[in-house]
Amino acid sequence: MRIATWNVNSITARLPRLLAWLESSGTDVLCIQETKCGEDAFPFEELRALGYEAAVNADGRWNGVAVISRVGLADVVKGLPGGPDYDGSQEPRAVSATCGPVRVWSVYVPNGREVGHDHYAYKLHWLESLRDAVAVDAAGERPFAVLGDFNVAPTDEDVYDPSVFEGATHVTPAERAALGALRDAGLSDVVPRPLKYDRPYTYWDYRQLCFPKNRGMRIDLVYGNAPFAKARQDAYVDREERKGKGASDHAPVVVDLDV
């Protein structure tokens, strides 16, 4: 079984690449972030033509998440139970579903903007709520994983130059401690280093030739429970999908399971 996560940075802009990638990669379950479209504009029909169904949580703004599956889709939960509001509402940053023998969450963790900003406090609160929401599944016997754009680089090795990010979000001790709390809840990072590349980044800014110069970050993560980690056969970042015209600024992260 092949499971992946990909921040597509607008599913409308990326749809031709997304459909081609699903066909060529043989992915069974794909967690998507930053759909940037409402549910009424989501490409259900195009995905259905390839044999996929989708669970979507989106409102048409800059967030939006989905789980796309060709192995079943059940027990869908939209939103983060107990999660915080921002500007008076809960943003569409989480959706979970059972896909065949595996349960997954697709998450788009708040960016945080800058240390000390209200959005930074919101980000930490959101991650705390995520830990509480997944605790039962994390401790269970069914393979379970939280996949998505966490907007946190777990270690200094996950950014191209730690000095560039000094004092910025994505690398602060508080954000990394929040990832540690997820691990304490029974989850682990199931995409090991090194992979094909010494530093398997997943995100490169569009500006300043960051991708050609490999000035990236590893912020798209797969955190699985013990049964999920035990079933893992392989994992990789599909760096090739970041190349070329019309690419997202994130690359897909893929995990193969024996379940």
User: Domain containing 227 — which CATH number?
Assistant: 3.60.10.10
250 counts as catalytic: yes
Q: What is the pLDDT of residue 62?
A: 85
Instruction: Count Cβ atoms within 10 A of the Cβ of residue 113 and give its class: 0-12 exposed, 13-18 middle, 19 or more buried.
Output: middle
Q: Which of the following is catalytic: 52, 122, 137, 149?
A: 149
d(CA 193, CA 254): 14
Nearby residues of 187 by Cβ (< 8 Å), 6 or more positions away: 134, 138, 145, 146, 223, 224, 225
Determine whether the annotation assigns residue 149 to a binding site: yes
d(CA 152, CA 218): 8
d(CA 29, CA 3): 5
Q: What is the pLDDT of residue 196?
A: 54
- As for how many domains the chain has, the answer is 1
Q: What are phi and psi of 244, to 5 degrees?
A: 90, 175
d(CA 188, CA 138): 10
Nearby residues of 154 by Cβ (< 8 Å), 6 or more positions away: 176, 179, 189, 218, 221
108 counts as catalytic: yes
Determine whether the annotation assigns residue 34 to a binding site: yes
Q: Which of the following is catalytic: 28, 52, 108, 203?
A: 108
d(CA 103, CA 101): 7
Parallel/antiparallel/unpaired status of strands 144-149 and 232-237: unpaired
Q: What is the pLDDT of residue 199?
A: 64
Count of CB atoms situated within 10 Å of the CB of 118: 11
160 counts as catalytic: no
First to last CA, the chain: 7
Q: What is the pLDDT of residue 248?
A: 98
Q: Which of the following is catalytic: 28, 120, 158, 250?
A: 250
d(CA 88, CA 90): 7
d(CA 129, CA 137): 14
Q: Which of 65, 17, 18 is nearest to 37 (CA)?
A: 65
Q: What is the pLDDT of residue 203?
A: 98
Range of the domain at 26: 2-257
Average pLDDT of each block of 10 consecutive residues along the chain (259 residues)? 98 97 98 97 98 96 94 98 94 98 98 96 98 97 98 95 95 97 96 65 96 96 98 94 96 97
